Structure 1
Amino acid sequence: MILVTGGAGFIGSHTCVALAQAGQPFLIFDNFSNSRRSVLDRLAQITGAPVPCVEGDVRDEALLARVLADHAITGVIHFAAFKAVGESVAQPLRYYDNNVAGTVALLRAMQAAGVRTLVFSSSATVYGDPASLPVREDFPTSATNPYGWSKLMMEQVLADVDASEPGQWRIARLRYFNPVGAHASGLIGEDPQDVPNNLAPYVAQVVAGWREALSVYGNDYPTSDGTGVRDYIHVCDLAEGHVAALRYLRAHPGLLTVNLGTGRPVSVLEMVRGFERASGRPVPYRIAPRRPGDVAACWADPSLAERLLGWRASRDLDSICTDAWRWQDGVARSLRG
């Protein structure tokens, strides 16, 4: 059985669906600090079976030890981390405590239980502002905020643990680019509990009428239409990448680091037009000054993941926007009663 820490969150819940589709039993471990318990019922509707869950904090090493032993866990997919850049700048100690100390507690519990297979949720933020594009795994790493530093620190902890017991650990560090979209059922998707920090859910809320307009930060970048360019990957493609990494680790001990992205750059205005096609509604937006720290463009070279994992993203921008809008529209309708 696979333990999925943070499994009720956005990426975690979609990965649980992918695990179920692959016939892999799993157990969610979540403290619901940034997710909702109703996700468990929605997952049960999608998978056709009750979804097992233990409520707990990833820093609770004693509880983790009991869960690893009581449920015959053979591997862990680790999503449990805070992820808002601005919040990390305001509350750095909270981020280092939850993200870094939480990962250390998890690894200690795994080591004691003899569980040495881990798929780790990292981020393309570890590349900072890349000197060239597309971004490869051998590029230099850096960070500009505590969230990014916490991801780099966790990556370093994993490398050191692997080096301390050569050939004993099986660890995948998956560097995501920009996860977006939702499950095609419309039952699960990105559900920010405050103002969305990411482009796609904000645009969806503008279309739904929850927000007045989108602020486009800068239209004078050296890109095709002057707006920022990113690598947006459908969350279901991303989830399938975790299952592929888990399968790879079963046959290959050691430390794996791969990008999970599409390799296809998409601008802010292209995302806006995608939501207009999906919803049949206009997306009001206004041009605002560039934000400090934003880069003009960033997208992945995903060829290593395809070569090693046999995985590649298959869903396009229209699928992303259609699925995200289906989810958002369903949430809007339920709130309207």
Structure 2
Amino acid sequence: MSILLTGGVGYIGSHAAVTLAQIGHKVVLYDNLSNSRADVVSRLARILGHAPVLIEGDVRDTELLAQTLRTYSVSAVMHFAGLKAVGESVAQPLAYYDNNVTGTQCLVRAMRRCGVRKLVFSSSATVYGEPQYLPLDEKHPTHAVNPYGRSKLHVEEMLSDLAVSDADWRIACLRYFNPVGAHSSGLIGEDPNGTPNNLMPYIAQVATGRRDRLSVFGGDYDTPDGTGVRDYIHVTDLADGHLAALNFLGRDDAAGWHAFNLGTGTGHSVLEVIQAFERASGMNVPYEIVARRPGDVASSYASSDKARQILGWQAGVRLDEMCISAWRWQQHCAQL
């Protein structure tokens, strides 16, 4: 099967590309390189033995998307292209709605024009907002509390409406929690342009001395140690979840719109992650507690029972292994 991966050169997209290509799917990467690098393709070639196709383009370019879908006879799309930082979304909400919501509109228009009706959408646990109970399952009310989460929720609702309007659509929205870690080769991982917005790459840069210390946003939450608790999932487990969702969309009973959580079901605090990374790297990670970040919640972790029962998927990598792989990537990254 030929599969288009928007944002395919990015952190999650590149790992999904490996998972898909290694079982024989043809992957076409589509990326504007705003938060990724073109040399990822050469690193993917070292892993796979061949270089995937890369189309450099913006997800809001409907014409180029349609041309790409036709040229490569694409049968399904995995949509990763999106802005994804909570704090940045609070400061730049219009950019998030433009890229995430308008971009998805442009994508599905191109797909509809080309007769492609299978879509795996990269959503987020932020659609739930402040948890009313834990662990979060798919029946939990959605009430995003920041522009990033609201942009993901708007897209989910739009895709749900689309599936109701046309029974040929098969859409899986994957609400995943906090992706971390890197591929076992050490050749691909999370390497954001500029200052990292996510915890693990920032910790890694502090451990290597690229940054002086980590700012921990909030030390007075109602959690065991006062710092925010999150469900961290290894990126290769996440890639496997996308493959499981794609396989599900090929089933007779998969028509319509579906939401699945992808997480481990276990929450770890910021301080626990710091300690795990120090064990993995043997390095000290200085930090300071600062004011809470707007839009954050105290605790968020998943129930992934639905994904296990319907997709046959379950996360397997534990936090210490996540940190080991992230450290291996950080060391390789400095040499690339």
TM-score, normalized by length of structure 1?
0.96
Specify which of 312, 327, 330 is matched with residue 328 of structure 1. Answer: 330
Tell me how far 1:225 sits from its aligned partner.
2.5
The amino acid of 1:14's aligned partner reads H
Relative to structure 1, is the Cα distance of residues 100 and 293 closer, same or farther in structure 2, using a 3 angstrom cutoff?
closer
> 1:226 offset after TM fit, Å?
2.6
Please state whether the residue corresponding to 1:174 is helix, strand or coil. strand
Would the aligned equivalents of 2:75 and 2:118 in 1 still touch at CA under 8 Å?
yes
Q: Distance in 2 between matches of 1:288 and 1:98?
A: 30
Provide the identity percentage.
59
Query: CA–CA distance in 1 between the matches of 2:56 and 2:223?
Result: 45
**Within-5 A mapping of 1:117-156:** 117-156=118-157
Give the Cα–Cα distance (whole angstroms) in 1 for the partners of residues 233 and 162 of structure 2: 30
Spell out the pairing of 1:1-337 with structure 2 (5 A cutoff).
1-166=2-167, 168-251=168-251, 252-334=254-336
Deviations 1:208-266 (A, max 9, x none): 00111122233333323332210000011001100000000000222110000000111
Could you say what secondary structure the match of 1:172 adopts?
Answer: strand
Change (3 A) 1:303 1:139: same
Distance in 2 (alpha carbons) for counterparts of 1:111 and 1:288: 47
Cα distance in 2 for residues equivalent to 1:21 and 1:179: 21
Between the aligned partners of 1:178 and 1:63, the Cα distance in structure 2 is 31
Deviation at 1:333, TM superposition (A): 4.2
SS at match of 1:54: strand
Change (3 A) 1:57 1:290: closer
1:277, CA displacement in angstroms?
1.1
* 1:186 and 1:330 in contact (8 A); partners too: yes
Deviations 1:158-177, CA, capped at 9 Å, x for gaps: 001100012x1110000010
For 1:253, the aligned partner's letter is: A
Q: Which moved more, 1:284-293 or 1:57-66?
A: 284-293
Pick closer, same or farther for the CA change 1:305–1:179 going to 2, 3 Å. Answer: same
Q: Is the 8 A contact 1:208 1:332 kept in 2?
A: no
Deviation beyond 4 Å, 4+ runs, structure 1: none
The one-letter code matched in structure 2 to 1:182 is A
CA change 1:330–1:53 in 2 (3 A) is same
Pair 1:43–1:82, CA change in 2 (3 A): same
- Whole-angstrom distance in 2 between the partners of 1:189 and 1:70: 29
Given that residues 180 and 234 in structure 1 are in contact (C-alpha distance below 8 angstroms), is that contact kept between their aligned partners in structure 2? yes
**CA deviation after TM superposition for structure 1 residue 56, in Å:** 1.1
Give CA-to-partner distance per residue, 1:17-44, whole Å, 9 cap, x none. 1101222111111111111001000011
- Structure 1: which amino acid aligns with 2:36? S
Q: What amino acid maps onto 1:294 in structure 2?
A: D
Query: Which amino acid in the other structure matches residue 20 of structure 1?
Result: A
Shift of 1:194: 1.3
**Ranges in structure 2 where 5+ consecutive residues have no aligned partner:** none
Letter in 2 for 1:153: H
State the AA in 1 paired with 2:228: G
> Do 2:31 and 2:56's aligned partners in 1 also have CA atoms closer than 8 Å?
yes
TM-superposed deviation, 1:145: 2.2
Distance 2:201 2:95 in 1: 25
Count how many residue pairs are aligned between Structure 1 and Structure 2.
Answer: 333
Partner amino acid, structure 2, of 1:318 = D
- Asked whether the 8 Å contact 2:87–2:295 carries over to 1, the reply is no
